[in-house]
Amino acid sequence: MTGPEKNIGRGTEENRFLQIAGWLEWLEEKIRFTFWIYVILAVFVTMEVIFRYALRMPHDWFLEVAIVMSVYSGFLGSALTTRERGHISLDLFIARMNTKGQRIIHIINNITGILASLVLAYYTVEQALFLNEINSRYSSSLGTPYSIQTFGVALGLLFCAVYFFNNLIKILAGTDCHAEKKGGH
């Protein structure tokens, strides 16, 4: 293809990539509540410290609720950090590469992130299903299944894969100005 035909095809491809990226942006708005889970957890821990040490009335269910909230907020927060490319990066070599080399490294990095997140999510779901099968629960008054926190890990990993995919789409569509400014993820 030469001339206008090449541009027409590429424009359509870019529009599809941008449309998918738009859907992913919508998804990001839906999990922004993660910050509030951290705030609620901090208030909850403070209240339990007061109950345990000042009032001498500890709750037997506190630990399981705190663990579940920590897992969900941590892994959903990790997904949001993936979206914003806030994870630790080693850009010593990437920063010295030309734009095309950086683009290739970012594509490889995002594909690797997608695959790793999906593989880990798969095995985490397998673990959660096993925990459900053997009816594994906390031994407190709530008796929360262990699989609840395990599904939180899987959910966060799936969102990480989605945001790696989102980053990949932006790079492939040529709309990712962020990739040239930062070295990696």
**Among candidate residues 43, 42, 39, 59, the one with its CA nearest the CA of residue 51:** 59
Domain-wise residue ranges, the chain:
3-181
pLDDT 10s digit of each residue in the chain, 185 long? 444 444 444 557 667 767 776 776 777 776 777 778 888 889 989 999 999 999 999 888 888 888 888 898 888 888 888 877 777 666 777 788 888 888 898 899 899 999 999 999 999 999 999 999 998 888 777 888 888 889 999 999 998 998 898 888 888 887 765 554 444 44
Check residue 182 and report its DSSP letter: S
Nearest Cα to Cα of residue 81 among 48, 42, 129, 117: 117
For the question of whether the overall pTM of this predicted structure is more than 0.85, the answer is: no
